[in-house]
Amino acid sequence: MRIKGRVWKFGDNISTDHITPGRYFHLRSNIQELARHVMEDADPEFPRKVKPGDIIAAGKNFGLGSSREYAPRVIKISGVSCILAKSFARIFYRNAINIGLPVITCDTDRIDEGDEVEIDVEKGIVRNLTKGEEIPASPIPPFMLRILEDGGIEEHIKKYGDFRLEE
Amino acid sequence: MGKTITEKIFSEKLKRDVRAGEIVVSPIDLAFVQDGTGPLSIEELEKLNMVRVFDSGKVILFIDHASPSPRRELSNMHIKLREFSKKTGCILSDVGYGVCHEVVVEEYASPGDVIIGADSHTCTAGALGAFATGMGSTDVALGMALGKQWFRVPETLRFVVQGTLPPGVYSKDLILHIIGMIGADGATYKAMEFEGEAIEKLSMEARFTLTNMAVEAGAKTGLIATDEKTREYLKSMGREEKYREIKPDADAEYEKTYTIDASSLEPVVAFPHTVDNVKSIKEAEGIEIDQVYIGTCTNGRLEDLRIAAQILRGREVRTRLIVVPASRKVYLDALKEGLIEIFVRAGGAVISPGCGPCVGIHQGVLGDKERVLSTQNRNFKGRMGNPEGEIFLASPATAAATALEGKITDPRRYL
């Protein structure tokens, strides 16, 4: 799985409340509408600026807070193809893989807003094409990578009827 | 080499030696969702053609976040949960019954259980010696249908808390102190085990405050070994037979051990907008506050209400005061003890059990530039419905003293 896109930068500790604020709780009944407010409390302009294929590069502890699966879902619906961060909160990380949104841990200090990056998800390599640099990344654990490659946990379960830990 | 509590629980479930770092598929004892996450779980089960539950007595749907419903869309989401409960026979905890995590510890969680909930504070039940962790809607949906889930068995950070908490300093201050010390990602992917003399002295209610907030340090769960207090608590909830000893081996392998002297602690406050932005009460005193909220899965239990009522008795508040008992049981007990009358006479607004204004949906949404001091567990920007508001976190005692003064106040002045 290779992904190429333009980067939007965010800082540390972007919470699930930044990503999908509680005041839009009622819009969970209409996720397309909910997605129109994606990342609104981190950058009010983001929902208008983001284009399909774009990539988020954030600091540490991205997605901390609530278990709301809507957080990765609205990011995916907005067209974002991958999230890079120095680290992820665990529930968010698992939710993102479950819904088929690649999340890669790497040193995002070497990426600026507007840079074009290319990601090899299997190998865990991030290339900053703008700066001509290769950034080492932590690979996704094998079982989670399989879920991601299946297209998410829903597809994984459809395929195997169960959790398939081993190849 | 011995085992941590987490390794012991999973070893027992899988009937083999399980160690940190392994990925396992484990049977679960309880799976629950709430009204903000459950409708999506149900949609996923519909998509997978798996509208069923593995055991109708071990799957619970809670209506606690927007409860009672403030809007039509949410009322319709509630209908979806009620219909699923009718269809599958699983348990429904409807409006007014309480916050999921409080009802789970009162009625369902037992030592040694593996529990998953579609809410990040599911870790609360870890104080009963259960492995309890929050997951997303789809993960919990699969648990509801299959009766199992996959887990990466986490490494454990051990927190040895020696000594005794001084008067006016509570388990809320202790957990805020710990999160301030290790950071909001200081325990990411890990389990936190709390032990030591100070923990042994804490009531179960105070222990739930600790494990509730493990996720605020990024942890997968927080755990406390069972003891006589666990037994007494289960007995008081009518299920003493569920008690059994769950404790780590003396030679368990921990990733790291932190030692804390409880007697050196003082009241603390987490400043906006991260839980690890913790400062001493001295640095916080004098900050003007518009609203005080006492309640939530963190600090809405009877002991919390007693502590607040003791300070508020016979006095009048200067801020708006919102009080939400965490469960119907807590509400009834507080009524019997006269605590509710104290809150109302002091000028407080007492709201029926549920999450109250914590999630930013209703019942106390902040105005622009307003500040709230709350006993809840998180203070993220926008958390209480308005990104222009500011949230400070503290113990019920600090909350009550602050309500009386209209500004953040050291509760020790009222003891």
Q: What gap in Å lies between CA B225 and CA B193, rounded to an integer?
A: 8
The residue written with tokens 């050196």 in the block is: B264
Taking only residues 44 to 63 of chain A, the set having a beta carbon closer than 8 angstroms to any beta carbon of chain B reads: 60-61
Give Cβ neighbours of residue B265 (< 8 Å, ≥ 6 apart). Answer: B165, B166, B169, B173, B174, B177
pLDDT of residue A165: 86
Q: Determine contact: A6 vs chain B, CB below 8 A.
A: no
Flag if A98 and B138 touch (Cβ within 8 Å): yes
Q: Where in chain B is the domain with CATH 3.30.499.10?
A: 5-261, 268-410
Q: Is B72 exposed, middle or buried (0-12, 13-18, 19+ CB in 10 A)?
A: exposed
pLDDT of residue B304: 98
Nearest to B74 among A13, A26, A143 (CB): A26
Nearest to A60 among B185, B220, B380 (CB): B185
CATH topology of domain B5-261: Aconitase; domain 3 (3.30.499)
Mean pLDDT computed over A64-69: 96
pLDDT 10s per residue in chain B (415 long)? 899 999 999 999 999 999 999 999 999 999 999 999 999 999 999 999 999 999 999 999 999 999 999 999 999 999 999 999 999 999 999 999 999 999 999 999 999 999 999 999 999 999 999 999 999 999 999 999 999 999 999 999 999 999 999 999 999 999 999 999 999 999 999 999 999 999 999 999 999 999 999 999 999 999 999 999 999 999 999 999 999 999 999 999 999 999 999 999 999 999 999 999 999 999 999 999 999 999 999 999 999 999 999 999 999 999 999 999 999 999 999 999 999 999 999 999 999 999 999 999 999 999 999 999 999 999 999 999 999 999 999 999 999 999 999 999 999 999 9
Q: Which residue of A has its CA nearest to B71?
A: A26
List of chain B residues whose C-beta atoms are within 8 Å of the C-beta of residue A13:
184-185, 274
Beta bridge partners of B194: B159, B224
pLDDT of residue A83: 98
Half-sphere exposure of B185 (CA within 13 A, CB side): 17
Q: What gap in Å lies between CA B229 and CA B204, rounded to an integer?
A: 7
pLDDT of residue B106: 98
Kindly report the pTM of this predicted structure: 0.98
Residue A138, helix vs strand vs coil: strand
pLDDT of residue B399: 98
Give me the DSSP letters along B353-404.
SS-GGGGSSSSSPPPTT-EEEESSS---TTTTS-TTSEEEE--HHHHHHHHH
Cis peptide before B68, with omega less than 30 degrees from 0? yes
Flag if A13 and B387 touch (Cβ within 8 Å): no
What's the first-to-final CA gap in chain B, in angstroms?
47
Flag if B135 and A94 touch (Cβ within 8 Å): yes
Flag if B380 and A28 touch (Cβ within 8 Å): no
C-beta separation of B277 from B270 below 8 A: yes
CB atoms within 10 A of CB A5: 20
Residue B261, helix vs strand vs coil: strand
Positive or negative, the CA dihedral A129, A130, A133, A135 is: negative
Flag if A25 and B23 touch (Cβ within 8 Å): no
Beta bridge partners of A4: A118
Positive or negative, the CA dihedral B294, B296, B299, B303 is: positive
Q: What gap in Å lies between CA B381 and CA A15, rounded to an integer?
A: 8
Residue A37 predicted with pLDDT over 90? yes
Q: Determine contact: B152 vs chain A, CB below 8 A.
A: yes
- Vertex B176 angle, CA B33 and B204, to 5°: 60
The domain covering B268-410 belongs, at the CATH homologous superfamily level, to Aconitase, domain 3 (3.30.499.10)
- Vertex B145 angle, CA B143 and B146, to 5°: 65
Closest CA to B120 of A24, A144, A90, A128: A90
pLDDT of residue A162: 94
For the stretch A73-89, pLDDT in tens is: 999 999 999 999 999 99
Give me the DSSP letters along B318-349.
SSEEEEE-SBHHHHHHHHHHTHHHHHHHHTEE
Taking only residues 252 to 311 of chain B, the set having a beta carbon closer than 8 angstroms to any beta carbon of chain A reads: 274
Phi, psi of B221 (to 5 degrees): -165, 170
When pLDDT is cut at 50, 70 and 90, the band that residue A166 belongs to is confident
For the stretch A126-138, pLDDT in tens is: 999 999 999 999 9
Closest CA to B24 of B153, B191, B211: B153
Q: Determine contact: B138 vs chain A, CB below 8 A.
A: yes
Instruction: Spell out the domains of chain A, with CATH numbers in brackets.
Output: 2-139 (3.20.19.10)
C-beta separation of B96 from B352 below 8 A: yes
C-beta separation of B384 from B366 below 8 A: yes
| ipTM value | 0.97
Report how many Cβ contacts below 8 Å link chain A to chain B: 139
Flag if A22 and B359 touch (Cβ within 8 Å): yes
Nearest to A61 among B44, B118, B185 (CB): B185
Report residue B392 as tokens: 């400070």
Q: Distance, in angstroms, between B77 CA and closest chain A CA?
A: 7
Closest CA to B382 of B372, B374, B393, B390: B390
Residue A167 predicted with pLDDT over 80? no
Q: What gap in Å lies between CA B347 and CA B317, rounded to an integer?
A: 6
C-beta separation of B215 from B84 below 8 A: no
Q: Distance, in angstroms, between B240 CA and closest chain A CA?
A: 31
List of chain A residues whose C-beta atoms are within 8 Å of the C-beta of residue B180:
none
Give me the DSSP letters along A81-135.
-EEEES-B-HHHHHHHHHTT--EEEE-GGG--TT-EEEEETTTTEEEETTTTEEE
Flag if B37 and A68 touch (Cβ within 8 Å): yes
C-beta separation of B181 from B216 below 8 A: no
